């Protein structure tokens, strides 16, 4: 596997807390004391109701705003790796700048993203199964064909373990039996379209989030059943972000890894409010969700 340090590529809860700005080794650090919206259990102890794709009202559920400090990793991002903490900053400029044409994104940005992941992880195969562009002030899941998407202010993981594995036969049915015997991952490639100040993305150190904090939530598609993970609050969670993230500073987020040897397997993430930047323009970003295979390694 390629080195997991930072590389230069060759190819909605408002808070009144103040930012905790310091200077460390010549780098201004914008740590933020804020709220994150965690899962709030049902009072009767029942499991969460599933969400239904195409029914935006089904995504609404109670949240538990919780005080946290989100630590700025600017100037020390090479300490954070996909296998160590479950996320990584990877410097990889894109030839695409506007991200306004879906056909062009699939024809040009998808292959570029495959190259990025192979270079960053040493993967032998990458399959991109979708992407989301966020340009709205908030997430508005209308039932129409072109929903207005914005930051998701709720701590979550995109897929549960079982839902992650099921994506292999769903997308690659003829290859699934063999691929599932090898190491397989889901990695989100999250890129700013322009410098991000408002509503940045926070990621939790995977090892600070125990399995007991994860709550499966059904996600019902018209022709199949998926599952996401909500997250219970815990004062031991360690949260991080990159202040002023630029388009070439790609955030790789591990949503799933088949390996069971102690490396990071999944990363909770969420948008959050930084009171220092609330007056800035709405965040614009693109995330590409990818199945990533290491066919020279066993699954576990």
- Does a structural domain hold residue 55? yes
- Does a structural domain hold residue 78? yes
Beta bridge partners of 228: 217
* Residues 44, 185: Cα–Cα separation, whole Å: 35
pLDDT at 149: 86
- Does a structural domain hold residue 126? yes
- Does a structural domain hold residue 12? no
Q: Estimate to the nearest angstrom the gap between the alpha carbon of 66 and the chain centroid.
A: 20
- Total of domains in the chain: 1
- Does a structural domain hold residue 40? yes
Residue 31, classed as helix, strand or coil, is strand
pLDDT band at 26 (very low <50, low <70, confident <90, very high): confident
The CA-atom distances, in angstroms, between 83 and each of 3, 100, 263 are 10, 33, 5
- Does a structural domain hold residue 259? yes
* Residues 255, 262: Cα–Cα separation, whole Å: 15
Token representation of residue 296: 């020279």
* Residues 286, 266: Cα–Cα separation, whole Å: 20
Residue range of the domain that includes 111: 33-298
pLDDT band at 8 (very low <50, low <70, confident <90, very high): very low
* Residue for token pair 């040009």: 108
* Residue for token pair 């900053």: 89
- Of 19-23, 246-250, 272-276, give the lowest mean pLDDT range: 19-23
pLDDT at 1: 39
Mean pLDDT of 165-183: 98
* Residue for token pair 């207005």: 148
* Residues 156, 93: Cα–Cα separation, whole Å: 28
* Residues 61, 39: Cα–Cα separation, whole Å: 8
Q: In what order do the strands lie in the sheet with 182-192?
A: 87-91, 249-257, 182-192, 285-298, 125-134
- Does a structural domain hold residue 13? no
pLDDT at 14: 41
- Does a structural domain hold residue 293? yes
Mean pLDDT of 6-19: 44
Token representation of residue 260: 């069971």
Whether residue 141 is predicted with pLDDT greater than 60 in this model: the reply is: no
* Residue for token pair 């190491």: 183
* Residues 132, 136: Cα–Cα separation, whole Å: 12
Instruction: State residue 259 phi and psi, 5-degree precision.
Output: -65, 140
Question: pTM higher than 0.85, yes or no?
Answer: yes
Cβ of 210: how many Cβ atoms within 10 Å?
11
């Amino acid at each position: 596997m390629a080195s997991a340090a930072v590389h230069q590529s060759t190819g909605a809860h408002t808070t009144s807390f103040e930012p905790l700005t310091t200077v460390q080794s010549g780098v201004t650090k914008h740590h933020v004391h804020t709220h994150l919206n965690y899962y709030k259990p049902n009072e009767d102890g029942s499991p969460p109701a599933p969400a239904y794709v195409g029914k935006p009202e089904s995504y609404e559920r109670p949240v538990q705003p919780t005080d946290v400090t989100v630590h700025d990793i600017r100037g020390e991002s090479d300490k954070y790796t996909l296998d160590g903490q479950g996320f990584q900053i990877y410097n990889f400029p894109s030839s695409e700048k506007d991200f306004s044409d879906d056909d062009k994104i699939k024809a040009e940005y998808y292959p570029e993203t495959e190259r990025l992941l192979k270079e960053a992880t040493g993967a032998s195969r990458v399959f991109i199964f979708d992407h989301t562009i966020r340009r709205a002030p908030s997430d508005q899941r209308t039932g129409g064909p072109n929903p207005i998407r914005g930051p998701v202010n709720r701590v979550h993981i995109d897929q549960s373990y079982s839902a992650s594995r099921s994506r292999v036969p769903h997308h690659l049915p003829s290859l699934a039996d063999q691929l599932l015997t090898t190491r397989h991952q889901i990695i989100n490639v999250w890129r700013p379209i322009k410098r991000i100040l408002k509503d940045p993305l926070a990621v939790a150190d995977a090892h600070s989030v125990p399995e007991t904090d994860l709550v499966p939530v059904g996600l019902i598609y018209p022709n199949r059943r998926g599952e996401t993970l909500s997250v219970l609050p815990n004062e031991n969670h360690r949260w991080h972000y990159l202040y002023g993230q630029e388009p070439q500073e790609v955030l790789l987020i591990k949503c799933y890894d088949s390996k069971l040897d102690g490396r990071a397997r999944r990363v909770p993430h969420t948008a959050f409010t930084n009171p220092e930047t609330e007056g800035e323009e709405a965040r614009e970003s693109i995330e590409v969700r990818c199945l990533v295979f290491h066919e020279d390694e066993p699954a576990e």
